[in-house]
Homo-oligomer: A and B are copies of this chain.
Amino acid sequence: MRDPRVVRCTYYLESEIDPEQAAAAMAGEQSSGTFVAVPGESPRLRERHAAQVISVQELGLRSPSLPSRTPAKDVRAALAVVEFPMENIGTDLATLQTTVAGNLFELGELFACRLQDIELPKEFLAAHHGPAFGIPGTRTLLGNADGVMIGTIIKPNVGLAEDEFRLVVRELARSSIDLIKDDELMTDPAYLPLERRVAIATEEIREAEQHTGHPVMYAFNITGDLAGLQQRHDLVVQAGGRCVMLNVPIMGLPALAWLREFSAVPIHGHRAGLAGSMRAPGLGMSYRVWQQLARLAGADHLHVSGLGSKFYESDTEVAANVRSLLEPLGDFPSPVPTLSSGQNVTTPGPTYAAVGTTDLLMLAGGAVAAHPDGPAAGVRSLRAAWAAAVDGVPLEAAAHTAAQAGDPALLHAGRTFGGLA
């Protein structure tokens, strides 16, 4: 008797053979099949455990996206919907990933194989924790922060000595910013150990909060060996830290899910390395799929690249990334879509026009640290740019109005980072 619960996947495939056959071969490889019929592959077993090709939509002839052991000239492109019995997978995330995005990328008869979309049964979602904080929990920890949250990255991202680090954090903490984060490259180096960074940053933030009354969250990068993961988390929490960060694609989704089990603070999910299995259009998985897995595993904040960024995804794709994070998934709170790379006062306008939400964390490096009037002015300029974007006021008008009212931060930012002459 076949369990009606299935994991439904949409793949983009290319093959020289009939796409129906190619999809069936892939579905077999990823469930009960093998290359040669073997004893034991009984009708009972097939009926209950074989993945099934639900539909194949041909997209026409193309040049092959990927190399294979036998070169092809033209290949047939198709979208194939395949259903995997949930019974094969259970509720384990690594098993899910092995099934829907494992050996299938190896198959020589496929000249493209990309997991475009996934639909998980309720029972699968219900077996996972999801984000413990997400948007609402993060806002609460930030003193019920309203609107777009503004964050920044410690720069230079490597090499700061302890005393230099202290001065950088001090100035940022006093800028009434919402979040400061380690760079993804900054983990636990001998010249500035995590333990010292945590001690210094929490001390400076406490001190700054006495003056500003504005809570600041620091996302400490606890990426590193798994044997020490819990210890590094505990170090942050015991010092009063309010957020930990993980380079999710490098640590793996199982590491994120494990951290979620004991983390007392939000998990800032960095995507370093993700493009290595996402950027080639005919290979790997889409952001739409990956973010669902990362949400299941418990990420509270997830990087989406940024509109106007220096990264490869177009603004349209980045906006789709943001929207995908805000789509419901089970009963979990949504994670905070985290914009990064090349963010400054010119990007809120197009971003708000594209996504129509302020449930965002915008990370700006240079636009905060290198603002001509200092980081506090940098943060003010970004908040003002967001207010203008939401109100539909052009940046230039908002900048001049604010300057006339005594705050030239936006005007100076616009002149420094672009957007204003």
State the A residues within 8 Å of B (CB). 30-41, 45-46, 48-49, 65-69, 87-90, 92-95, 97-99, 101-103, 105-110, 155-160, 164, 167-168, 184-185, 187-191, 223-227, 247, 250-255, 257-258, 261, 272-277, 279-285, 305, 309-315, 341-342, 365-367, 369-370, 417
Contact = CB atoms under 8 A, between A and B. Distances in A.
A38 B370 contact: yes
B252 A255 contact: yes
A184 B98 contact: yes
A342 B156 CA distance: 51
Nearest to A99: B185
A367 B315 CA distance: 51
A160 B40 contact: yes
Contacts of A35: 310, 341-342, 365-366
Contact of A225 (B93, B157, B313, B367): B93
A160 B37 CA distance: 15
A279 B34 contact: no
Dominant secondary structure of chain A at its interface with chain B: loop
28 contacts: A31-B159, A34-B155, A34-B157, A35-B342, A36-B367, A38-B366, A40-B156, A40-B160, A40-B167, A41-B155, A49-B158, A69-B315, A92-B188, A95-B188, A98-B185, A98-B247, A98-B273, A99-B185, A105-B274, A105-B276, A106-B275, A109-B310, A224-B254, A226-B226, A254-B255, A255-B255, A276-B277, A280-B282
Contacts of A65: 280
B40 A155 contact: yes
Contact of A102 (B45, B250, B315): B250
